[in-house]
Amino acid sequence: MKGQFLALLASRGASSVLLALIHLLVARDAGPATFGIVATVIAAGAFYFVIVDFGLSTAIVRAEAREDEASVRAFLRVNARLSVIGGCLAVLVILGLMLLIQGPLWLAVLGVSMALEKNADTVLGVAVARRSKLIPAVSMVMRRVVAFGVLVTAWWASDDVIFGYVAAMLAGGLVAQVYGRLSLKTAFGISSIKSRAVLKQALPFFWSNISASARNLDIIIVTLLAGARDAGFYGAAQRLTSPFLLIPGAVATLVLPAAARRGPRGAKKLAYQLSWLHLGMLAALGVIALFADEIVVLVLGESYAPAAGILQWSLVAFPFVALSSPLGGVLQSQGHENLVARNGILFSVLLILGIFGGVTGFGVVGAMVAVCAVYALKCFSLVMIIRKVLVT
């Protein structure tokens, strides 16, 4: 696991930095209002494609870790069909929305790119469960390198940063799709398991993934209550924290298959280790938060100065947001996916209510304070559940 973790850490590091750079370039050139629209579409798309995925991206990792090849093939088949249908619908919805608000029509292409990338990540779950170091690492880095190159080229050729951005995301999604399928072609094949049975198996993972993805609803609520300009500040501040996903992102990818191979004692120990790791990260990010004003102006420019307070709370909230998914993965690995789903639904409702109350009472910064408080409580509840149900 150590070698795979280091490979994923390095590749996620490079991928996260490149993606953050892409978004920051778009934010600086497009301005807060336009970037607010872009960020809202991205967040809505992220939540929507978790629905489209129907929990299969998580279920497939556990199935492969347990060497259930028939289920893996059936999951891949159903996920591919859902991705095609979901991508087509997303294009139509985004296009209609852009026509309604007179936004950038090119953003409709993101419906295709997000479908391609989400499906590619589901396929890569097989490689992760097989303990592959090379395939996930190459996929993550290659798609971002290609995307960055296409962004610069298309932006220069068209003088339109939004066109450059959607072209970049589409190119990255295509590269990830082709590479994943060529590298893992042995995982594809005929399975006798019917689609209805596949969806039934994936249902508990669907609910837990939906609840985890409720995090993406915050910027949508901010847009509805505060407008696109404030959403631009909110979205840009979030992009500044994305490079900090390096360690927790790599950890989260490996937790479920690693814990699935352990007994309750080993899984509980892993959960405690993850909790201490993220508490240490909280201390480090708290120091960085003290310099939020200088960071925002330096990276994004004076027009984004109001985003400093959002960045401060985003840094504090980050360790709790990052920890919640691995803790849920530990429980899922031991057969408690229904418990994780119920916990997730409860805290999703609390999150939405908290964001509404935060924005209404305290403005955009209040939304991020609410995110921090809800995820801190969620992590505490998951640790308590792990302590209780994983009896050694």
Helix 246-260 vs helix 2-30: angle between axes, to the nearest 10 degrees? 140
Q: Where are the domains of the chain?
A: 2-389
- First vs last C-alpha separation in the chain: 23
**pTM of the entire structure?**
0.74
Give pLDDT, residue 111. 92
pLDDT at 121 over 60: yes
Catalogue the E-assigned strands of 235-357: none
Over residues 44-95, the pLDDT tens digits come to 888 898 888 888 888 887 777 777 777 788 888 888 889 999 999 999 999 9
Higher pLDDT, 325 or 88: 88
Q: Do 50 and 122 meet the contact criterion of CB atoms below 8 Å apart?
A: no
Give pLDDT, residue 146. 92
pLDDT at 256 over 90: no
**Count of CB atoms situated within 10 Å of the CB of 252:** 22
Q: Do 314 and 368 meet the contact criterion of CB atoms below 8 Å apart?
A: yes
Q: How confident is the model at residue 10 (pLDDT cuts 50, 70, 90)?
A: low
